[in-house]
Amino acid sequence: MRKLILALLFLSSVVYAESTIDPIITEATTNSTVNSQSNTRTKLESPPPSAISPTINTSNSDLCTFGVAGAIQTQILGISTGTQVTDENCERLKLAKTLFDMGMKVAAVSTMCQDKRVFDAMMDAGTPCPFDGMIGEDAKAAWAVNEEKQPGAKKDEKGMEQSTQTLLGGAGVAILLFLLLL
């Protein structure tokens, strides 16, 4: 019986507690007007495109070459190129000097005579260039008979000289790059 009274007392306190608690009621009214105006500017910064020319090292003074390189860059495409050009006159001078240093004087003069300017100067001086081992008046007579073998007498079988081909190739690349800019 004691248990029953305790249970009734417990239940009655819970029912009384529920009936005496007031509920929390929240009321809110909001009126708002939003006007928004914005000016935005977006600036995209990116690294500039770059076409980098290849480096051509010709710092050795014993080489008879020099490097030519160039590059162009547009917003879309970048092109770079480089080449090595051989100076034939420099090579001729080095060969002639080497031959002369080895005691081969006629071969050194013959090497220099491959240049039309040297050939003409030698003829004007009355000391013609060697021809098939002949020197002096014999060489002068042989050159008179074989004019087609004189330097500059005819074009190379290739058609164009290397310097002309290089010039035309460079002009072609320049035109192509100009068209890419349009």
- Whether 44 shows a pLDDT value over 70: the answer reads no
Q: With a threshold of 0.85, does the pTM exceed it?
A: no
E strands, the chain, in order:
65-73, 78-86
Whether the pLDDT of residue 29 is over 90: the answer is no
Partners of residue 71 on adjacent β-strands: 80
54 pLDDT more than 60: yes
User: What are the residue ranges spanned by the domains of the chain?
Assistant: 51-86, 88-149
CB proximity list for 50: less than 8 A, separation 6 or greater: 73, 78
Average per-residue pLDDT for the chain: 78
Which residue, 85, 162, 88, is CA-closest to 118?
88
Residue 86 has φ and ψ, to the nearest 5°, of -95, 130
Give the C-alpha separation, 125 to 146, whole Å: 20
pLDDT over threshold 60, residue 45 = yes
pLDDT band at 72 (very low <50, low <70, confident <90, very high): confident
The runs of H, that is alpha helices, within 24-161 are 88-101, 105-112, 116-124, 137-145
Question: Which residue did the predictor score with more confidence, 125 or 13?
Answer: 125
For 99-145, the pLDDT digits (tens) are 999 999 999 999 999 999 999 999 999 899 999 888 889 988 999 89
